[in-house]
Amino acid sequence: MRRPLAFLALLATGCVDDSEAKSPTEDPPAEDTAPAEAEPEDTDTSPPADTGPPEDSGAPEDSGAPPVPPPAVVSLAIDDALAHEDGGETARFRLVLDAAQEADLDVPLTLGGSASPDDDFILMLDGAPIASSVTIPTGATEVTLVLVPLPSATMEPTETVTLTVTPTELLLAADGADIATARIVEHGPSNGSTYYVAADGDDAASGDAVTPFATIAHAVSVLRAGDTLFIRDGVHTNSNYVAEHGETGDSGIRHGVLAKIDTSGEPGNWIRIAAEPDGNEARPVLRFDGSGGLQVGAGVSHIIIEGLEVEGHNAEITYDQAMDHRWSKENYYIGRGIFTWGPADHIVVRDNVVHHTPGSGIRFNSSDYILVEDNVVSNTTWWSSSAESGVVIATAQSIDTEEVVKILYSGNTVYNNWNLLEFCLSEFEGSDEDAYGNCDHYTGGIIDGQGLYVTRNNDTYAHGRMRFENNIAFNNGFGGVVYHKTDRGELANNLVFMNGAYPGISNYSGLTLNTANDVVIVNNVVWSRDDNDYGVKENGPTSDVITGHNYVVGRTQLLDETVDVVVDYADAPALGDLFSNAVDIEALRPDPHGTGSGIAPADVDGLLTDLGLDFALRPSASPLVDAGTTDRAPNADRRGVVRPQGSAVDVGPYEVEQE
């Protein structure tokens, strides 16, 4: 049989198996001497017998397509989870493959979180911005993504950036390693020395982790710009602190502040004073019986205070003791938690618990660029005769001409802050004039003891805006939120619930404006204490007030009922239909004398705690869910849940999470 030349060439290379080919040494076949006998034709027309499927030779079928490689497995990790807007310190994500690939691999990413791309940050790879995917080059096993915060003058809450790996046919995410979150904070880093304080330390020691200082007062005196002070768990007190102050409350009542911060940080190099990150839920307790817990000194700036518990002596003071000292105002009866008389600027107070201080829990006078975030302030101002409130901004002073939000109070919980004494102003001592400030003769009653209070800023704060967002204020003495003699404000997504626990003779315990101009009020829930109570009140001249998408139970002024919802107290829905666990607390009013059927001030807190109030919205809370506006709404709720989750922003400080 003749073969084509091409076939013979392949045969010579061994690329073809020819069973008919003969060895060169094999004898040639004999010549045919006669034609072969012809086989008879097959005349059988029946179907062939079924012999079953052909045998499997074991060789794979050749489809002509290259084999599909198994999917690559990628892990998303985070090396530096914190980006600092001041100073531009970046956060870093890493994408790590289980093995290098023979071709470039595209990794699709989904970007989420409360921070806005291009406004708050840029995500970069090798110096170039990226958007929705990253390419891992051939032969590489990992790449690093850099989150660069973008600075702005606007004071913002802590924001988040979340990356999620999106699987494809060629890519799988490792279990538990498909998502990572970084945070962006307003302040700068603290890259200097780190010191420690412990209750059993020694102020003569070096202050390092092994030999910590003993007192916070000494420790803050050695701090310089960029330094960090970690305070260990335990009870830390002011100098000369005593637990007992005599039956009449006259012993040891002139002590000073627990610690005063007189050294500033710098832009991009802040001083940080914080609880040691030891992994447990306990906080170091700063307990004082003097003029206060932590005071920020005059001219100080760029300070962070976070993670502490600051405790005063309200529970030990009696009404009779406080009355006897209403005019003399010794430190024991007026001490404040975290405070400054200013001037001060660029101060962050975050995640602190401040309670039972006779004066204000957190107070800033003559300040600018202030962030008060995620604190709990409770049971303060009971025995002060200085007209104080739980959280206060007073006589603010702008340090530049920026017209943005520079003072922000976000995500705080403020409750049980009452004035049980009337305001005593020294110039009226001995007078019988019926005037505010003459606590012995004024007939107007108590009008202080607010939850969140902004006051007397019109004449001092020439530039900038103030903003309250995602706060909860309940069972405070007078109003939940009071915006007084202050212009350029924003009140968004707050809950003001059944305040007016000790309101004197007034009946406007919700949200009050007095001599305020250019104020925006949106997405708030305001719930009056009873059917005679004002939820929203105009208690003095106002102008340029914009409202919308507020939900108010009770009497009201100021609001535009074409864009706000106002419900009569008697027609309000059941609290359990709206909130996870909320009940009527109208009866939880303090009796400063603690006699008869009244509740002693020190007992109200326990009763309130036992209720386990939880104001998170139920998904079925139709008057509030998807009923807000995105205009001026914070990007996330008080837990960090991004807004909106549904078709619109929810009203109040919580957003209902949706799949």
Mean pLDDT of 551-564: 95
Confidence of residue 6 (pLDDT cuts 50, 70, 90): very low
pLDDT single digits (tens) 64-103:
666 767 899 999 999 999 999 999 999 999 999 999 999 9
Nearest to 88 by CA among 127, 64, 122, 59: 122
Per-residue pLDDT at 61 exceeds 70: no
pLDDT of residue 597: 67
Biggest alpha carbon distance in the chain?
A: 152
pLDDT of 501 over the 70 cut: yes
Q: What is the pLDDT of residue 19?
A: 38
CATH class label, 72-185: mainly beta
> Given a cut of 60, is residue 22 above it in pLDDT?
no
Beta-carbon contacts of residue 472 (< 8 Å; ≥ 6 apart): 412, 413, 414, 415, 494, 495, 497, 615, 638, 653
How far apart, in whole angstroms, are the C-alpha atoms of residue 54 and residue 91? 63
Q: How confident is the model at residue 32 (pLDDT cuts 50, 70, 90)?
A: very low
Six token digits for residue 45? 């027309």
Quick: pLDDT tens for 156-184: 999 999 999 999 988 999 999 999 999 99
Residue 12 has pLDDT above 50, yes or no: no
pLDDT at 64: 65
Report the pLDDT value the prediction gives residue 450, as an integer from 0 to 100. 96
φ, ψ of residue 137 to 5 degrees: the values are -65, 160
Q: Which of 491, 482, 497 is nearest to 583 (CA)?
A: 497
Assess contact for 258 and 219: CB atoms under 8 A.
Answer: no
Mean pLDDT of 422-444: 96
Mean pLDDT of 448-465: 97
Q: What is the DSSP letter of 564?
A: S
Segment holding 611, helix H or strand E: helix 601-611
Question: Which of 513, 537, 391 is closest to 452 using CA atoms?
Answer: 391
Identity of residue 332? Y
* pLDDT tens per residue, range 502-520: 998 889 999 999 999 999 9
Q: What is the pLDDT of residue 70?
A: 86
Do residues 197 and 237 lie in contact, with contact meaning Cβ atoms separated by under 8 Å? no
The secondary structure of 499-531 as a DSSP string is: --SS-TT----SEEEESEEEEEEES-EEE-SST
Ranking 61-65, 152-156, 162-166, 191-195 by mean pLDDT, the lowest is 61-65
Give the Å distances, CA to CA, from 6 to 12, 21, 154: 10, 15, 80
**Which residues does 216 contact at the CB level (< 8 Å), separation at least 6?**
197, 229, 231, 236, 258, 259, 286, 294
As a whole number, the mean pLDDT across the chain is 90
Q: Please report, to the nearest 10 degrees, the dihedral formed by the alpha carbons of residues 524, 529, 530, 533 taken in order.
A: -70
The mean pLDDT value for 99-109 works out to: 94
pLDDT at 43 over 60: no
The ranges assigned to domains in the chain are 72-185, 188-311
293-337 pLDDT, tens digit per residue, is 999 999 999 999 999 999 999 999 999 999 999 999 999 999 999
Q: What is the pLDDT of residue 449?
A: 95
- pLDDT, average across residues 523-551: 96
In the predicted structure, residue 458 carries a pLDDT above the cut 70: yes
Contact status, residue 377 vs residue 413, Cβ threshold 8 Å: yes
Q: What is the pLDDT of residue 132?
A: 87
Q: What is the DSSP letter of 234?
A: E
174 DSSP 8-state letter = P
The pLDDT of residue 131 is 82
Element holding 222 (H helix, E strand)? helix 216-222
pLDDT of residue 56: 45
Model confidence band, residue 62 (pLDDT cutoffs 50, 70, 90): low
Q: In what order do the strands lie in the sheet with 309-311?
A: 234-237, 284-287, 309-311, 353-355, 376-378, 413-415, 472-474, 495-497, 525-527, 551-553, 565-567
What is the arithmetic mean of pLDDT over 646-652? Answer: 97
Q: Cα separation of 448 and 360, whole Å?
A: 11
Whether 542 and 511 have beta carbons less than 8 Å apart is answered as: no
pLDDT at 596: 66
Q: Which residue has the higher pLDDT, 47 or 202?
A: 202
Amino acid at 343: P
Three-class secondary structure of residue 571 per DSSP: helix
pLDDT value of residue 588: 96
Distance, CA of 501 to CA of 419 (rounded, Å): 10
How far apart, in Å, are the Cα atoms of 400 and each of 153, 397, 462, 485, 640? 10, 9, 9, 21, 30
